Amino acid sequence: GERRGGPIASCERMASLMTALAASVLGHGAMITPWTRNAIDRSLPQFINGSSPDTPCTCANGLEKEYPPRIEAEPVGSSAQCWSDPGFNYDSHPDNVKEVTNVATVGDCCDLCDTTPNCSFFTYTAEHQCFLKRSAAGRQPLKGGISGGTGVKPPMPPTLQGCDQGVRVGGGGQPCLWWSQGCSIGCKECATITGGTTPITGAPPHTDKIGFRTRYCDSTFNATLPKEAWTMNLAAVEGSVNDSYRFNPWRAPGYAPVVDACGQAGGKYKQTPIGGDSTYTTTVHATMGDFGTKVLPKGPAAATWVRGTQVQVTWGMRYNHGGGYQYRLCKADQELTEECFQQTPLDFDRTKQALIWNNGTRYNITGVFVSEGTFPVGSTWARNPIPRVADDNRGIQDEAGCPGPSGTSGPRCIQFPAPCPQDTGRLPWSTDGSGQGECSGDWTAGVISDEVIIPKDLAPGDYVLSWRWDCEETAQIWSNCADVTITA
């Protein structure tokens, strides 16, 4: 969790921390409608308004760990003792004592405050501006900002965490933190089950990406996905060395194993050494490593559907790993296993895929659906329509098109064209990770909507709806489960 209080670190230390965080491979997504068992904790106080002690699933600005940890009591600069308040601006212009530009580090800003008459507080910005202040009035969030002061830190008023979740409200809590890791095509089990305490990594030059040029078992099973449905590294020659994602789940949709059909909390056991955002906040409902089918109870039906009709389902991502997804049903009175869900995969109305922004704006898109090389054999999967914006293209085809270290470094960091015409690249308010455009990257601005067809011969009763997202960039699979009722 977040550590609070402490001496300000230098900008260099903070930059180092942020670089380390960015280097970790992040993923995460969740079924939004209908509401899921995995979102059981959405009404707990720490998750109100989309906020989270760790990784918010609905919106990026609910992230308490978005800024460096707060630290106190260590001398900074030449003599000053300062405390920090990362992520905030003391935005009261009448209280400004002085503005200084081109200040190298936040420690230097602290020193300036310590030696300037009437200065007790400061705000340091990502543009290396140092605002010296006599008051901490007007405290409000500022992306990349670090405020602080000299002497004893006064009590700070609570600040509303979270955001206007809009159409993503069903993803509140931690539904995006239920997944399986180290799951390769051709394997019977995922590496988190078989690996014990052995670190699970990819191969160079991206050991940080689970599944990068790596299969977690001995197998000769080859990828089955038609190339027109790829979402990553589209310039690579299939099966070549630079076809670095060829062992990952989306390259044979439905064939890779999962740890649990409704996901594993945090994507690993507590003792399993995996990097990235493998995290889960313990609640009264679950803790890291729990299986969704074992700890998430049956709840009231989140939707009632009539057999033989088409119904709307949506999902949203927190971080994007490409790939594709499928919706499936299992009778609620049966054991919830992959085998049960695989008996009833739902078909899509291929004309009804759409993007819905958080304010309700809808834009119909032409989706990519695949029934070739899938499991169950002949079942339909939908390609994730939001293009990944890679941090870099190291180890895949066309490295020069995105040399790194961030997704703004080249024109071909975006893995395929964005599906909405207003997308012109990364937005200035972009989030942690690789950022996002109007409909690209780590897209938290809306949901992906589909209509699925409820079979007309399905027996009425209570069911569990499964959403399974097979990633292509990593050996990871996200799983959520929702209670629904089917009527005649």
**Which pTM was predicted?**
0.78
Nearest one of 424, 446, 444, 423 to 434, comparing CA atoms: 444
Task: Please report, in tens digits, the pLDDT of each residue of the chain (488 residues total).
Answer: 222 233 333 333 333 323 332 333 556 899 999 999 999 999 998 888 888 887 889 876 543 333 333 333 334 445 556 887 777 788 777 789 999 999 988 888 888 998 999 999 999 887 889 999 998 887 777 766 788 888 777 776 654 455 678 899 999 999 999 999 999 999 999 999 987 788 899 999 999 999 999 999 999 999 999 999 999 999 999 999 999 999 999 999 999 999 999 999 999 999 998 866 788 999 999 999 999 999 999 999 999 999 999 999 999 999 999 999 999 999 999 999 999 999 999 999 999 999 999 889 999 999 999 999 999 999 999 999 999 999 899 999 999 999 988 888 899 999 999 999 999 988 765 555 567 899 999 998 899 999 999 999 999 999 999 999 999 999 999 999 999 999 99
Unique residue bearing structure tokens 């975006």: 414
- pLDDT at site 63: 39
